[in-house]
Structure 1
Amino acid sequence: MKLYHYWSSVCSQKVRLCLAEKNLEFASQHINLFDFEHWSPDYVKLNPKGVVPTLEDDGRIVIESNVILEYLEDRFPAVRLRPQDPYEQAMTRIWIYNSEEIAHHNVNTASHNPRHAVRHKAKHHTREEMQAIAARCPNPIIARRFLQRIEHGVSEDEENQAYAALDYLLEMMEGALAGTAWLAGNRYSLADIAMAPFINRIEVLKRPEMVSAARRPRIAQWWQHVQDRPAFKQAFSFANPDKSDPLQR
């Protein structure tokens, strides 16, 4: 089994976390997003969307991080991460859905603040080079947004809206944890795996107050329990192999 991933990609982190929880070994192929390896012809043949992660298992390719989570659960059932109770299964699906529809979209926006332009400047790419790189992106909408964001980041209004949406999601999380230890019940599940990388990213973006014990005590306790798991330490210990990257975290 081989995983094509990027060290700090939230979608890569959730798949690495699932693999670690299931004690599954895999060959690691790091795809450097800041060298645009995800838009190389060879990688786009594997993943036509030109995104990470991509899982290769016995010659079969699986893309989309949440689909990969479900695939791993069905393919390797020895360690169960999907609840057996129908209601808890439904709650798991809701949090997997929320992780994509709310968390991913808005964390992506918040992550493209102006400090990330430093990464591209460190690579010494000219505007013309960036336009040529964007032309390799298989999705023209992403290519256009990419060019706008590497030059200007996101607007203050876009960033504020993203954090407002994340705040709304965190309030739902706090409520969901009112009567259970984990998001979908009293057992750790794919729901927790799907959401954990986004809480980590909120802290990386220097907004720890959003998940602090003072503001959201249930999330703070849940987050500590997530971080205490050996699989979390394994999945999140993957270091950036690109030592020229000025932002190592």
Structure 2
Amino acid sequence: QVSLKDKENLEPWYLELNPLGVVPTLVHDGKPVIESSIICEYLDDTFPEHSLKPVDTYQRARMRFWMKHVDVKLHPSCGAIQWPMVMRPALMEKSEEEREAILERVVEKPRRERQKRLVKFGLDAPDIADAVRTYRKTILDMEAALTEHRWVVGDEFSLADVCLAPYFQTLHQFAWTALYDHDCPRVTDWFAQVSERASYREGVAVDFPESLVTRLQGEGAAVWQKIEQHLEQKPAA
């Protein structure tokens, strides 16, 4: 495991595996594979006996659309929303000079500049409103897709569902499920089905013991009004 709070992802030994300094990194047969969606496809290609790619080529294209959406839109949005909750408190305990030195080590400039804003402004950073609205738009698009079939791209569980699931774990752990559970019944049912899968329990939920979830939900509930307020704001012209 790599401690993000301690910025182990920026240590030289980790940057040799992942030059971008992000998680996760899969090392298989001594070779590193980076980026979550690429790792998912790599594992599916390497162990095809339990493939999670649709046979239908159109459904496979839709699967990749959702995976790209996660990479380009949802992941940065989730990062913006949870970063002030998870990462900012530890950095605020350090001196300004220490914080600046740590942030200057972030490899990619856009991510580095965003983290500086999130440290300075927390959930009042200009990034947050767009992030919350992107989350909500994703949820509404999923609700529409799930009117047609059980899972996001068809009646079989796919890599699209795999890639989307962790971002709903984030909403659950911070008690922000009001983003969907009051008016998106299909998404609510989708996440309930995902949560019941053994792979989810063993690969995701195991990292969130009840005591941790209780603490995080308390912290998330305390700032929910701010999240909801961002949701109600109109996008800038």
In the superposition, the TM-score normalised over structure 2's length comes to 0.82
| Greater share of helix | 2
Give 5+ residue unaligned stretches, structure 2.
210-214, 218-237
The one-letter code of the counterpart of 1:216 is: C
Tell whether 2:108 aligns with 1:139. Answer: yes
Count residues in correspondence. 213
Asked if the contact 1:38/1:52 (under 8 Å) is kept, the reply is: yes
Which residue of structure 1 lines up, in the alignment, with residue 167 of structure 2?
198
Q: Deviation of residue 154 (structure 1)?
A: 4.2
Tell whether 2:128 aligns with 1:159. Answer: yes
C-alpha offsets along residues 117-171 of structure 1, whole Å, 9 cap, x if unaligned? 32334xx321111222223322233333323322322436532222112111111
The 1:114–1:38 alpha-carbon spacing in structure 2 relative to 1, beyond 3 Å, is closer
C-alpha offsets along residues 149-199 of structure 1, whole Å, 9 cap, x if unaligned? 223224365322221121111111000000211011101110100101111
C-alpha offsets along residues 74-129 of structure 1, whole Å, 9 cap, x if unaligned? 011111100111111111111111211221121112223467532334xx321111
> In angstroms, what is the RMSD of aligned CA positions?
2.3
Which residue of structure 2 lines up, in the alignment, with residue 13 of structure 1?
none
Distance 2:30 2:87 in 1: 35
Tell whether 2:13 aligns with 1:45. Answer: no
Asked if the contact 1:53/1:65 (under 8 Å) is kept, the reply is: yes
Give 5+ residue unaligned stretches, structure 1.
1-29, 242-246
Runs of 4 or more consecutive aligned structure 1 residues displaced over 4 Å after TM superposition = none
Worse-superposed segment, 161-170 or 187-196: 161-170
C-alpha offsets along residues 52-79 of structure 1, whole Å, 9 cap, x if unaligned? 0001111111111111111001011111
Name which structure has the greater RCO, CA cutoff 8 Å, separation 6+.
1
Distance 1:68 1:199 in 2: 20
Worse-superposed segment, 185-194 or 101-110: 101-110
Tell me which of 163, 178, 185 is aligned to 1:217.
185
The alignment-based identity, stated in percent, is 29
1:6-85 alignment, distance < 5 Å: 30-85=1-56
The one-letter code of the counterpart of 1:82 is: K
Asked if the contact 2:80/2:118 (under 8 Å) is kept, the reply is: no
